[in-house]
Structure 1
Amino acid sequence: MTRDPHDVGASVTFGLLAAWAVHDAEEVVMVPRWVRTQVPELRKKFPRVPETAWRQLEAVDGREFTTAVAAMAVVLAACAADGQRTGGRSAVYQTALNAFGLHGVVHLAQAAAFRGYTPGSVTTPLVVLPFTLWARGRLRRAGVLRPARPRDVVQGLAFATAAAVGTHAVARRVLRRG
């Protein structure tokens, strides 16, 4: 049986969900403790950040964060499924893939600004960026990768931001009901 050269396969589409799961496992384990121990230091290092931002960060407990991660799993699963359904052609899937890679760049920028470990900064160079580059390469070779434009960076960052804000809002609402 000959493989269709335009078929990118589940390793590319559902691989996004798997790579994200590995990355977010690091965050689930590290975020609550890191926030508790590092926010006082961050307040000193970055005095121009409004106090409301620090209070909001401190208010995210382990339950809320884990619930938000579970909600994000639903978002990423839907994007990966759409990617699989379309052979990687889906604009939603490709935007999510770009968002995943760009959010990794944000993690590295955060670690550089902090001058040390931040949650997500270990799996970003080991999983997030390599997977994103590999998957984009596979999409390119299959002839289905949309041409990269500056607006794709904006869309990717907007998608990542909206998904993060939205899933945290869902988490807060779910936990308030419980």
Structure 2
Amino acid sequence: MNDERMNATVTYGLLAAWALHDLEELATGPRWVRENVPALRERFPQVPERAWRVVETVDEREFTAAVGVMGLIVGAASVAGHRTGGRSAFYQGAVDGFGLHGLVHLAQAAAVRGYTPGSVTSPLIVVPFALWARGRLRRAGVLRPARARDAVAGLAVAAGATAVAHLVARRISGTR
């Protein structure tokens, strides 16, 4: 498979897996935050009050817009992966960041000892897709070596993309 173009299932599969995962977040996120932040605030007093206020200010319109912006980013990564036969650093970083972000969802669910938005699809779709895609990239001979600093960078890029998505969403939705 070294000389073949990477299968669209692997490259565009990132966008499909992300969309399924974010459907869960869209369906549950804003309501879950409204219902659970007061108890979480008491349970985790070490979290700065400013962080709780930021979380509480995200309404459904902003959240939906942010998901749309992130979809554009993930879509661009999928296109880059397809055009380069899976070799794109942007695509591979997105696959890694997607998988690692799934682990963050699982850690959040463990920390609150219950459901958090994204925690159902993370072990069923997010993490398995990332591992499967990495395996396909490895078999194709195009997977970049995994290093701890790349994992940290992938999480930082995912966090940055999330922040940018919410900044753009606030402009689009008119929220403050």
TM range, smaller chain: over 0.9
Whether the 8 Å contact between 2:17 and 2:125 is mirrored in structure 1 is yes
Secondary structure of 2:114 counterpart: coil
- Is 1:121 the counterpart of 2:119? The answer is yes
Amino acid of the structure 2 residue aligned with 1:165: A
Whether the 8 Å contact between 1:99 and 1:159 is mirrored in structure 2 is yes
Normalised TM-score (structure 2): 0.96
Whether the 8 Å contact between 2:2 and 2:142 is mirrored in structure 1 is no
Could you tell me which residue of structure 1 aligns to residue 171 of structure 2? Answer: 173
1:7 CA displacement = 3.0
Amino acid of the structure 2 residue aligned with 1:139: L
Could you tell me which residue of structure 1 aligns to residue 103 of structure 2? Answer: 105
Query: Where does 1:45-124 land on structure 2 (aligned, <5 Å)?
Result: 45-124=43-122
Secondary structure of 1:97 counterpart: helix
Whether the 8 Å contact between 2:81 and 2:92 is mirrored in structure 1 is yes
Render the CA deviation track for 1:70-90: whole Å, top value 9, x for unaligned: 000100110000000000000
The structure 1 segments of at least 4 consecutive aligned residues displaced by more than 4 Å after TM superposition are none
Whether the 8 Å contact between 2:21 and 2:122 is mirrored in structure 1 is yes
Normalised TM-score (structure 1): 0.95
In structure 2, how many angstroms separate the alpha carbons of the residues matched to 1:100 and 1:135? 11
Whether the 8 Å contact between 1:6 and 1:87 is mirrored in structure 2 is yes
Percent identity between the two aligned chains: 63
Aligned residues, how many? 175
Could you tell me which residue of structure 2 aligns to residue 148 of structure 1? Answer: 146
In structure 2, how many angstroms separate the alpha carbons of the residues matched to 1:74 and 1:175? 17
